């Protein structure tokens, strides 16, 4: 019996392989995710572009409906055992043929268990939820189905079974959803809020969703790799407000019965602390960054179910004594400008690699006289400095997605796709006993998404992505970077 099932499965696999994604029959690869940007639609389907080539966008894996139908297969009726996983989803075998598994998977930590699927129903919105104390505490953390699909597509490219097992575990942990342009905000904000709410309604347990607000005019002013769609001018600043912040506000005001955390505009205020004089683009962005923050804090900071953390770079950016002192002034001014809106605290190490603890380092020539040469010491110092600067609510979250090991970078200022990196501590509320002002370790940067392209001819090429310790060839910021992901799995600390 066993043998015949195996044989049937093998035969079915061979049949499926040729039809795994519709574009393969036309001689084009599948795009790595069903959420890839649609560049062109024709009678065959939706087309995206990856690595300079056309690719077919696979049918979404993320509907609770029978997704396999669109590919010419039935949905499984009894089995939930996945025999094969590809960018379309999980496949089982029934009656000698492939079937698409609609539900399956499990979750063991405080992450939610939405099985990597969106719920596009219209869940009923309950009464107002109000944060009290640590916004990360007491909730399931929502799993972003887009990330699950990215990992599934990555697994489909892997053959080492121990690495595949590690990759599978990545789907159990939550990471942030980046609203990195107007279109992505429109596509992902409400959809994820709805899915988290549906799960909350179904399980009776609150489900926390974390978004990154990331579209300021003149974004990434000191670098090039993450330059955004809006420029530092009045017209684009008006669009930031009306087409981006106001729309987010409207959705947040609709979905009031679930907890939400917002990480605000990575790198922007840290650039205001250190790069106004040295970088004309940052001087140009200055008024828009400040105005944008005041605007959004006033709007989001009065919503009881929403908590905000302003980005503070990382230990090797604002850790020096003079930078921290200046930061106290900049951040207290920004928070006051958003009154009556409230800010819960600050996010450190977003998309960076600085280890949580690095006891070998101390202030001296090796650290360029930085008295905060690891994240723990940085947050301890910032806590004191921000309190002295008169900031009332001083709590932190630490992005631990990429700081599991001390990587190969030759200078802590290296930020682009560093070789030898490893996944860090798992998302968790109140991770350090006695450090009451540390709300959470959380994965803000989705592991495996690139920091910037290494293609020197690209418009957003930044020299840092060509440096000796930057992994190459690397795709554009935010795009999937398979080799980087696989290295992170191997080096994960704690191991996956």
Catalytic residue among 215, 236, 385, 451: 451
Contact residue for ligand BGC among 226, 275, 403, 453 (CB under 6 A): 226
Q: 445 among the known binding-site residues?
A: yes
| By the rule CB under 6 A, 355 interacts with ligand BGC | no
Distance, CA of 177 to CA of 167 (rounded, Å)? 19
Distance, CA of 327 to CA of 490 (rounded, Å)? 36
Q: Based on the residue annotation, tell me whether 408 is a catalytic residue of this protein.
A: no
Q: Which residue is nearest to ligand BGC (CB)?
A: 478
Q: 439 among the known binding-site residues?
A: no
Shortest CB 423 distance to ligand BGC, Å:
14
Query: Residue 108 class from Cβ within 10 Å (0-12 exposed, 13-18 middle, 19+ buried)?
Result: exposed
| Residue 454 and residue 490 in contact, taking contact as beta carbons nearer than 8 Å | no
Phi then psi for residue 20, to 5 deg, are -55, -35
Contact residue for ligand BGC among 86, 374, 451, 462 (CB under 6 A): 451
Contact residue for ligand BGC among 89, 478, 481, 487 (CB under 6 A): 478
Q: Which is nearer to ligand BGC, 170 or 198 (CB)?
A: 170
Shortest CB 214 distance to ligand BGC, Å:
7
- Among 198-206, 382-390, 423-431, 445-453, which window interacts with ligand BGC (CB under 6 A)? 445-453
| By the rule CB under 6 A, 449 interacts with ligand BGC | yes
| By the rule CB under 6 A, 178 interacts with ligand BGC | yes
**What residue has token string 């056309």?**
54
| By the rule CB under 6 A, 446 interacts with ligand BGC | yes
Q: Which is nearer to ligand BGC, 226 or 367 (CB)?
A: 226
Q: Based on the residue annotation, tell me whether 119 is a catalytic residue of this protein.
A: no
Residues touching ligand BGC: how many (CB under 6 A)?
10
Contact residue for ligand BGC among 477, 489, 492, 496 (CB under 6 A): 477
| By the rule CB under 6 A, 445 interacts with ligand BGC | yes
Distance, CA of 157 to CA of 134 (rounded, Å)? 39
| Residue 374 and residue 315 in contact, taking contact as beta carbons nearer than 8 Å | yes
| Binding mask of the shown chain, residues 231 to 270, with x at each position contacting ligand BGC by CB under 6 A | ----------------------------------------
Shortest CB 91 distance to ligand BGC, Å:
28
| Binding mask of the shown chain, residues 388 to 417, with x at each position contacting ligand BGC by CB under 6 A | ------------------------------
Shortest CB 451 distance to ligand BGC, Å:
6
Q: Which is nearer to ligand BGC, 342 or 479 (CB)?
A: 479
Q: 236 among the known binding-site residues?
A: no
Q: Which is nearer to ligand BGC, 271 or 367 (CB)?
A: 271
Q: 215 among the known binding-site residues?
A: no
| Binding mask of the shown chain, residues 84 to 123, with x at each position contacting ligand BGC by CB under 6 A | ----------------------------------------
Q: Which is nearer to ligand BGC, 92 or 448 (CB)?
A: 448
Q: Would you state the structure tokens that stand for residue 131, as one six-digit string?
A: 């944060």
Contact residue for ligand BGC among 180, 374, 398, 414 (CB under 6 A): 180
Q: Which is nearer to ligand BGC, 356 or 481 (CB)?
A: 481
Q: Would you state the structure tokens that stand for residue 8, as one six-digit string?
A: 């049937």
Q: Would you state the structure tokens that stand for residue 382, as one six-digit string?
A: 């910032």
Q: Which is nearer to ligand BGC, 101 or 143 (CB)?
A: 143
* Cβ neighbours around 188 below 10 Å, total: 20
| SS (HEC) of the chain | CHHHHHHHHHHHHHHHHCCCCHHHHHCCCECCCCCCCCCEEECCEEEEEECCEEEECCCCCCCCCCHHHHHCCEECCCCCCCCEEECCEEEEEECCEEEECCCCCCCCCCECCCCCCCCCCCCCCCCCCCCCCCCCCCCEECCCHHHHHHHHHHHCCCCCHHHHHHHHHHCCCCECEEECCHHHHHHHHHHHHHHHHHHHHHHCCCEEEEEEECCCCCCCCCCCCCCCCCCCCHHHHHHHHHHHHHHHHHHHHHCCCCCEEEEECCCHHHHHHHCCCCCHHHHHHHHHHHHHHHHHHHHHCCCCCEEEEEECCCHHHHCCHHHHHHHHHHHHHHHHHCCCCCCCEEEECCCCCCCCCCCCCCCCHHHCCCCCCCHHHHHHHHHHHHHHCCCCCCEEEEECCCECCCCCCCCCCCCCCECCCECCCCCEECCCCCCCCEEEEEECCCCCECCCCCCCCCCCCCHHHHCCCECCCCCCCCCECHHHHHHHHHCCCCCC
Q: 178 among the known binding-site residues?
A: yes
| By the rule CB under 6 A, 455 interacts with ligand BGC | no
Q: Which is nearer to ligand BGC, 139 or 445 (CB)?
A: 445
Give residues 335-354 in contact with ligand BGC (rule: CB under 6 A): 351
- Among 35-43, 85-93, 287-295, 442-450, which window interacts with ligand BGC (CB under 6 A)? 442-450
Catalytic residue among 88, 119, 236, 267: 267
- Which residue numbers belong to the known binding site for substrate? 178, 180, 314, 317, 352, 415, 445, 449
In the complex, the residues that contact ligand BGC under the rule CB under 6 A are 178, 180, 226, 351, 445-446, 449, 451, 477-478
Task: Tell me which residues are annotated as active site.
Answer: 267, 451
């Amino acid at each position: 019996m066993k043998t015949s099932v195996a044989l049937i499965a093998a035969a079915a696999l061979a049949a499926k392989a040729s039809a795994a994604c519709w574009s393969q029959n036309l001689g084009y690869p599948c795009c790595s995710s069903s959420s890839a940007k649609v560049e062109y639609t024709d009678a065959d389907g939706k087309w995206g572009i990856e690595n300079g080539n056309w690719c077919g966008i696979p049918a979404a894996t993320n509907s609770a409906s029978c997704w396999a139908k669109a590919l010419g297969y039935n949905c499984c009726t009894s089995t939930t055992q996945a025999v094969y996983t590809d960018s379309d989803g999980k496949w089982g075998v029934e009656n000698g043929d492939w079937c698409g598994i609609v539900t399956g998977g499990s979750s063991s930590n405080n992450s939610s268990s939405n099985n990597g699927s969106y719920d596009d129903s219209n869940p009923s919105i309950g009464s107002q939820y109000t944060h009290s104390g640590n916004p990360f505490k007491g909730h399931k953390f929502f799993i972003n189905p887009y990330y699950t699909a990215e990992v599934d597509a990555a697994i489909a490219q892997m053959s080492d079974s121990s690495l595949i097992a590690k990759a599978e575990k990545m789907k159990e942990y939550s990471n942030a959803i980046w609203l990195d342009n107007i279109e992505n905000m429109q596509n992902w904000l409400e959809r994820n809020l709805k899915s988290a709410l549906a799960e909350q309604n179904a399980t009776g347990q609150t489900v926390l969703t974390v978004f990154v607000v990331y579209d300021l005019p003149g974004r990434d002013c000191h670098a090039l790799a993450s330059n955004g769609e809006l420029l530092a001018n009045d017209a684009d600043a008006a669009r930031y407000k009306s087409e981006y912040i106001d729309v987010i506000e409207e959705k947040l005001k609709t979905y009031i019965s679930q907890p939400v955390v917002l990480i605000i505009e990575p790198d922007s205020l840290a650039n205001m602390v250190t790069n106004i004089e040295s970088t004309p683009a940052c001087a140009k962005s200055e008024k828009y960054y400040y105005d944008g923050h005041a605007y959004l804090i006033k709007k989001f900071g009065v919503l009881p179910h929403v908590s905000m953390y302003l980005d503070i770079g990382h230990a090797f950016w604002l850790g020096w004594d003079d930078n921290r002192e200046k930061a106290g002034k900049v951040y207290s001014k920004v928070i006051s400008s958003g009154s009556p809106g409230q800010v819960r605290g600050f996010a450190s190490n977003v998309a960076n690699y600085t280890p949580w603890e690095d006891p070998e380092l101390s202030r001296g020539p090796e650290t360029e006289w930085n008295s905060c040469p690891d994240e723990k010491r940085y947050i301890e110092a910032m806590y004191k400095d921000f309190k002295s600067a008169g900031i009332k609510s001083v709590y932190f979250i630490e992005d631990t997605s990429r700081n599991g090991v001390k990587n190969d970078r030759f200078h802590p200022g290296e930020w682009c796709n560093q070789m030898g990196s490893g996944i860090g501590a798992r998302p968790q509320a109140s991770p350090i006993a006695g450090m009451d002002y540390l709300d959470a370790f959380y994965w803000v940067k989705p592991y495996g998404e690139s920091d910037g392209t290494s293609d020197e001819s690209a418009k957003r090429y930044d020299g840092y992505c060509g440096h000796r310790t930057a992994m190459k060839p690397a795709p554009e910021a935010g795009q999937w970077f398979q080799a980087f992901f696989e290295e992170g799995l191997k080096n994960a600390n704690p191991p996956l």
